[in-house]
A and B are shown apart, each in its own frame.
Chain A
Amino acid sequence: MSIRQISVFVENKKGSLVKITDALSRESIDLRAMSIADTQDFGILRLIVSDTDKAVEVLRKENCIVSVNEVVGVRLRNEPGALGAVVSLLSDKDINIEYMYAFNGATPHHAYLVLRVDDNDKVAEILLAAGIKCITEEQASEI
Chain B
Amino acid sequence: MAECYWQKEIETASREQIREWQSERLVKTVKHVYDNVELYRKRMDEAGVKPEDIKSVDDLKKLPFTYKQDLRDAYPYGLFAVPMSEVLRLHASSGTTGKQIVVGYTKHDLEVWDDIAARQLYAVGADENDFIHVSYGYGLFTGGFGLHGGAGRIGATAIPVSSGNTDRQITILQDFGSTVLCCTPSYAMYIAEQIKAKGIDPKTLPLKAGIFGAEPWTEEMRRQIEEMLDIKAYDVYGLTEIMGPCVSYECSEQKGMHVNEDHFIIETINPETGEVLPQGEQGELVFTCITKECCPFIRYRTRDIGIINTEPCECGRTFVRMSKPMGRSDDMMIIRGVNVFPSQIETVLLRQGYLPNYKIIVDRVNNTDTLEVQVEMTEDMFSDTVTKVKEYEKALESELRSLLGIGADVKLVAPNSIERSMGKAVRVVDKRKLIGG
Q: Which A positions have Cβ atoms within 8 angstroms of B?
A: 5, 7, 9-11, 13, 16, 37, 39, 41-42, 44, 46, 63-67, 69, 98-99, 116
Contact = CB atoms under 8 A, between A and B. Distances in A.
A16 B387 CA distance: 22
A67 B383 contact: yes
A46 B412 contact: no
Interface residues of B, number: 19
B384 A42 contact: no
B4 interface: no
B390 A42 contact: no
A17 B390 CA distance: 21
Contacts of A37: 385-386
Q: Max chain A CB contacts within 10 Å: which of B378, B415, B416?
A: B415
B384 A9 contact: no
Q: Max chain B CB contacts within 10 Å: which of A13, A67, A99, A116?
A: A67
A5 B385 CA distance: 12
Contacts of A98: 385, 387
Contacts of B412: 9, 11, 41-42
Contacts of B197: 63
A42 B383 CA distance: 12
Given A65-B377, A67-B379, A11 B386 contact: no
Interface string B38-55: 000000000000000000
10 contacts: A9-B377, A9-B412, A11-B413, A13-B414, A42-B377, A42-B389, A42-B412, A44-B384, A63-B197, A65-B378
Nearest to A9: B377
Nearest to A10: B414
B385 A99 contact: yes
Q: Max chain A CB contacts within 10 Å: which of B377, B379, B414?
A: B414
A110 to B, nearest CB: 24
Given A44-B389, A67-B379, A116 B414 contact: no
B75 interface: no
A63 to B, nearest CB: 5
Interface of B: 197, 377-379, 382-387, 389-390, 411-417
Contacts of B386: 37, 39, 44
Contacts of A44: 384-386, 389
Contacts of B379: 65-67
Contact of B414 (A5, A9, A69): A9
A109 B413 CA distance: 42
Q: Which 9 A-B pairs have the closest CB atoms?
A: A7-B384, A11-B414, A9-B377, A65-B377, A65-B382, A37-B386, A63-B415, A63-B416, A69-B384
Given A9-B377, A39-B390, A116 B417 contact: no
Contact of A65 (B385, B390, B411, B414): B414
Contacts of B389: 39, 42, 44
Contacts of B417: 11
A9 B379 CA distance: 9
A67 B413 contact: no
Given A13-B414, A66-B382, 12 more contacts: A7-B384, A9-B382, A11-B413, A11-B414, A16-B414, A37-B386, A39-B389, A41-B411, A42-B389, A42-B412, A63-B416, A67-B384
A46 B384 contact: yes
A66 B378 CA distance: 9
B415 A65 contact: yes
Contacts of B382: 7, 9, 65-67
Nearest to B193: A63
A98 B382 CA distance: 16
Nearest to B376: A65
Contacts of B416: 63
Contacts of A65: 377-379, 382, 414-415
Q: Max chain B CB contacts within 10 Å: which of A9, A63, A67?
A: A9
A65 B380 CA distance: 9
Contacts of B411: 41
A55 to B, nearest CB: 14
Nearest to A19: B414
Contact of B384 (A5, A16, A41, A63): A5
Contacts of A10: 414
B17 to A, nearest CB: 55
Nearest to A37: B386
Given A63-B197, A65-B415, A116 B384 contact: yes
A16 B414 CA distance: 9
A38 to B, nearest CB: 8
B393 to A, nearest CB: 9
B304 to A, nearest CB: 35
A46 B401 CA distance: 32
